[in-house]
Amino acid sequence: MNVLGKILALGALSVIAACTSNDPSALGGGGPGGSGAIVPGSPSDPRSPAYFQQTVGDRVLFSVDQSTLTPQAQTTLQGQADWLMSNPDFVATIEGHADEQGTREYNLALGARRANAAREFLISRGVAGNRLKTVSYGKERPIEICSTEECYSKNRRAVTVLTGSTLG
Amino acid sequence: MMKLLTSLFVGLTLLSAPVHAQSGPLRLEIDEGIIEPMPFAVPNFVPDGPAAAQYAQDISRVVAADLTGTGLFREISADAFISRVSSFDAPVQFADWKAINAQALVTGAVNVSGKRLTVRFRVWDVFSGQELGEGLQLAGTTDGWRRMAHKVSDQVYSRITGEGGYFDSRVAFVSESGPKNQRLKRLAIMDYDGANVQYLTDSAAIVLAPRFSPTGDRLLYTSYESGSPRIYVLDVGRVKKQELKTQDGTMSFSPRFSPDGRSIVYSLIQGGNTDLWKMDLASGQSVRLTNTPAIETAPSYSPDGSQIVFESDRSGTPQLYVMPSGGGEPTRISFGQGRYGTPVWSPRGDLIAFTKQNKGRFHIGVMRTNGDEERLLTSSFLDEGPTWSPNGRVIMFTRETQGASGRSSLYSVDISGRNLRPVRTPDGGSDPSWGPLQN
């Protein structure tokens, strides 16, 4: 809608990325800034959930049995915080997940720790707590289904899912 | 289904015993580690008319399957029989059964009159030539024939072993279908042997870990139908559920009934931290039992209700702890290598079953309630979630296979570690909860 707003948001994102990350590309591949027209709602629209998901990065990964945020995870979450601050209409649910190694119960609790670690980081970077819900899926919703570390590493995740706009 | 179960048994009557009522020397001491199963014979029960013929055959087969399934007994094939049993009241030709080494013999008769089914049976100690216990008559309805067969099996089992049976019982579980990343889960209930599966929920929301009430009338389970994990209680007979409310913004899971059925202990997640709470079901009021930054989950009461065993990672890895059921200082009981979870107190009170994860393998194991004498009963890529048979002799659990095509199914194993068997379900299965013996 407001083209200026989008551009400002985009600018802020780039600046912060440069400040906080050793690896600016960690914020996402490619990114906007091309000369083509921005299609509202498409991944090229920096205010779209698709942009958040693909360019900012909607997920952070964890080590085995850990819920501490890696430097890379913190970079991604910083990007999420910036985006959420620039797009105050959105609320989010952070889903915590575990790999299949471990009991159902323990993994449910572990997923909750991971979701909460992401939530606390976003709050510490200024996002209002009442915009951020958490849910744990434990090992119930793997995205990768092989039984090797290659898959497990992608399943140990916290995913920030934009659940709609507070303004409807 | 429920109508069937509540109206099934209109009578259970002692038959007048023609011979000695006291048990003879036939006795299987199953605590001493049976290696060689006891040979037994179940000649087809005698039908008293054409209407009873199929029931008589089916009931005999279920009795034989129940006994064989324990791993403690071995059935002698009818091909080997010398005697035919054509009359329930005719004298048993012991010499003919001795000759084929049948140590135990079960004879029976079946009467069908309209919808009414009557089963009479006797258990014989072949080598002493005596009846073991007294003959019994069970009366019910024809659609409850399987339960009547299981009742016969429970009697046979307990007369020979001196322990309670477990055949006339049900198992609640999660029926699973679809690949790992799109798995559909439904709450289901079935007979202990996989027969008579009934679905209690649809697969619209993830459901986890049903837990029977002590009398089997209710199930606790966890569902995502609200969008996040919450505990529900389901009236099994009416298939009617109710959410057990906890504070806003929390998640709740891993519930289990207290032995009196009036309260539950469960895990509550607040701010990413999981602690144990207890809820009085009448008032809906909850009190906190643990308060640490560690994960506390998978609580299970001792049968007398005085203690709770649970899993906590307060030491850095998940281990088992026992605390007073009102809360208080826990005592760690697991000290072996690896990670321990999902402890479940045996209905006899003597053992705790658990899941153990060590060196990339999962095991179901048992230990004394103070942690002594740990024994691992199984080993696979992923075994978890033990549940006890009503007599504390058998453990059912979930086994999931490895890889992209991995599938969950139910297995059972004797606490001796022998007799590992799959429990057949129509689709995949997980999270079994073995209910009590039915009335």
Mean pLDDT across chain B: 93
Cross-strand pairs, B252: B268
> In B127-137, which positions are buried (b, 16+ CB within 10 angstroms) versus exposed (e)?
beebbbbbbbe
Which residues of chain A does B274 touch, with a Cβ-Cβ cutoff of 8 Å?
108-109, 112
Distance (Å, whole) CA B389 – CA B378: 17
Top-level CATH class of B2-161? alpha beta
- At A152-167, the pLDDT tens digits run 999 999 999 998 765 4
Segment B106-131 shows an average pLDDT of: 96
- At B283-292, the pLDDT tens digits run 999 999 999 9
CA dist A164 → A56, A84, A168, B133, B415 (Å): 17, 12, 7, 70, 52
Mutate to test the interface with A, among B182, B224, B226, B295 (most CBs of A within 10 A): B295
Tally of domains within chain A: 1
Tell me whether B182 touches chain A (CB under 8 Å): no
Give residues 263 to 292 of B whose Cβ lies within 8 Å of A. Answer: 267, 269, 271-274
Of B332, B408, B421, B319, residue with least CA distance to B377: B421
Residue A42 sits in which domain range?
3-165
- State the Cα angle at B131 between B130 and B135, rounded to 5°: 165
Q: Decide if B357 and A144 are in contact by the 8 Å CB cutoff.
A: no
The DSSP line for B25-89 is: S----GGG---SPEEEE-PPPEESSHHHHHHHHHHHHHHHHHHHHTTSEEEPPGGG-SS----TT
Distance from CA of A116 to the nearest CA of B (A): 5
Distance (Å, whole) CA A11 – CA A9: 5
Which token pair is B367? 């230990």
Distance from CA of B135 to the nearest CA of A (A): 46
| Res B155 pLDDT > 80 | yes
Confidence of residue A1 (pLDDT cuts 50, 70, 90): very low
In terms of average pLDDT, the best of A29-43, B4-18, B23-37, B167-181 is: B167-181
Distance (Å, whole) CA B222 – CA B208: 5
- At A33-85, the pLDDT tens digits run 444 677 888 888 999 999 999 999 999 999 999 999 999 999 999 999 999 99
The most distant pair of C-alpha atoms in chain B lies apart, rounded to whole Å, by 73
Distance (Å, whole) CA B368 – CA B320: 12
Residues with Cβ within 8 Å of A7's Cβ and at least 6 positions away in sequence, in order, are: none
The answer regarding whether domain B169-437 maps to CATH 2.60.120.260 reads no
- At B238-291, the pLDDT tens digits run 999 999 999 989 999 999 999 999 999 999 999 999 999 999 999 999 999 999
- At B50-97, the pLDDT tens digits run 999 999 999 999 999 999 999 999 999 999 999 889 999 999 999 999
Q: What is the pLDDT of residue B1?
A: 30
Q: What is the pLDDT of residue B5?
A: 33
Count of positions (residues) in chain A: 168
Distance from CA of A15 to the nearest CA of B (A): 32
- CATH at A19: 3.30.1330.60
| Res A32 pLDDT > 50 | no
Q: Which 8-state DSSP code applies to residue B340?
A: E
- At B184-195, the pLDDT tens digits run 999 999 999 999
Which residues of chain A does B220 touch, with a Cβ-Cβ cutoff of 8 Å?
none
Which residues of chain B does A120 touch, with a Cβ-Cβ cutoff of 8 Å?
272
Cross-strand pairs, B286: B279
Phi, psi at B98, each rounded to 5°: -60, -40
Q: What is the pLDDT of residue B32?
A: 53
As a whole-number percent, the residues of chain B with pLDDT over 70 amount to 92
Domain spans in chain B, listed from the N-terminal domain onward: 2-161, 169-437
| Res A18 pLDDT > 80 | no
Segment A104-113 shows an average pLDDT of: 98
Q: Which residue of A has its CA nearest to B299?
A: A105
Which residues of chain B does A112 touch, with a Cβ-Cβ cutoff of 8 Å?
251, 269, 272-274
| Res B23 pLDDT > 90 | no
Provide ipTM, 2 decimals: 0.92
Q: What is the pLDDT of residue B36?
A: 85
Distance (Å, whole) CA B18 – CA B313: 61
Q: Decide if B181 and A103 are in contact by the 8 Å CB cutoff.
A: no
Segment B13-35 shows an average pLDDT of: 57
Distance (Å, whole) CA A130 – CA A97: 21
Q: Decide if B208 and A104 are in contact by the 8 Å CB cutoff.
A: yes
The strand pair at B38-41 and B218-223 is best described as: unpaired
